[in-house]
Amino acid sequence: MAGDTRRPALPAFRPPPGLGGGHRQTLVPHLLRRGPAVAYRRERLDLPDGDFLDLDWIDGDDASRVAVVAHGLEGSTQRAYVRGMAAALAADGWSVCAWNLRGCSGEPNRLLRAYHSGATDDLDAVVRHVTARGATRIGLVGFSLGGNLTLRWLGEQGAGVPPEVVGAVGVSVPVDLAGASRAMERGLRRVYVRHFLRKLSAKAHQKAGAFDGAPDAARARAARTFHAFDDGFTAPIHGYASADDYYARASARPLLTSIAVPTLLVNALDDPFLGPSCYPSAEAAANPLLTLLTPRTGGHVGFLQRDGRYWSEDVAVRFLRAVLDRR
């Protein structure tokens, strides 16, 4: 498959009348979508460092074909967009392993360390666990932060990617973290930042009370931008010298040309969470295995269609189905 550079035909995105525009496409699904009811089976994966990840499974008829789904910033497997994608993949014959990043499953993780955009060792542990359970065809799907983590892991693996991994899809991915952080400091986008920082600051406060050597939670509470929060909390507890060092070393964009399995990246041009550097057209042109779709509208993890369905789910299912068909 690695030598097969044909790209599947994928449908165009058509929003409902009056629901074009990045903010509407971002907010309407976030606020109003309930998502399908999904009966997950939870499994706890203990990690070598003493921490854990909670995996939520949909067991299909074919246990050898597994889609691994990663959520976004301050999300979980219970978010409507994750349940929607999981249900769509399950309906297409996949078993699904939707994984909660550290501290996102409803229970604080055991270590000072948290989740972050460059925590590719956690995805590596999930993939290897899924492989050990008998999966021979693994598709990866990542949203936003989880998408950056997924694409960066693929780039790190390069030609040495486990042969079970057949392809991947990233949706609304800030592949350049510095560019996304700068974009979020402007205009109405600061409303989103405040929403996330309230949650992130609460976790930083919990960490400060539970672990010796944790950064001062007051600095996290005082942060008004992602850069300030990452400089005071994310970077120091994860071994980065600063927010800028974290962004440079955790971003997926520098490694996109090294991805060695068919991969689809879907970033709407009006995504309020992304900056201009998050549309890696040069890397897509240089890597025949990377397909970049940039619809005019769609927002951030939005893509609500006229028929009430979600285009990102349709596109991800079709892309991964085409990957399997060509193997």
Q: In the CATH hierarchy, which fold is given to the domain comprising 22-176+252-326?
A: Rossmann fold (3.40.50)
The two tokens of residue 131 are: 């492989």
- Give the pLDDT score at 98: 98
Active site residues: 144, 271, 300
**DSSP letters for 236-267:** HHTT-SSHHHHHHHH-SGGGGGG--S-EEEE-
What are the pLDDT digits (tens) for 217-228? 898 899 999 999
What are the pLDDT digits (tens) for 55-64? 999 999 999 9
- 3-class DSSP state for residue 54? strand
- Give the pLDDT score at 96: 98
239: left (phi over 0), alpha (psi -120 to 50) or beta: left
Measured CA to CA, the distance from residue 93 to residue 30 in angstroms comes to 27
What are the pLDDT digits (tens) for 118-158? 999 999 999 999 999 999 999 999 999 999 999 999 999 99
Neighbouring-strand partners of residue 23: none
What residues have CB less than 8 Å from 91, skipping those under 6 apart? none
Share of the chain above pLDDT 70, in %: 98
Q: Where does the chain hold its CATH 3.40.50.1820 domain(s)?
A: 22-176+252-326
Give, rounded to a whole angstrom, the gap between the first and last alpha carbons of the chain. Answer: 5
- Give the pLDDT score at 261: 98
| Contact (CB, 8 A) for 161 and 154 | yes
DSSP letter, residue 306: T
Measured CA to CA, the distance from residue 26 to residue 31 in angstroms comes to 9
Order of strands, sheet of 137-143, starting from the edge strand that comes earlier in the sequence: 41-46, 52-58, 95-99, 65-70, 137-143, 165-171, 263-266, 290-293
- pLDDT band at residue 3 under the 50/70/90 scheme: very low
- pLDDT band at residue 7 under the 50/70/90 scheme: confident
Measured CA to CA, the distance from residue 313 to residue 141 in angstroms comes to 10
Half-sphere exposure of 56 (CA within 13 A, CB side): 22
Among 289, 281, 252, 286, which Cα is nearest to 155's? Answer: 252
**pLDDT above 70: residue 71:** yes
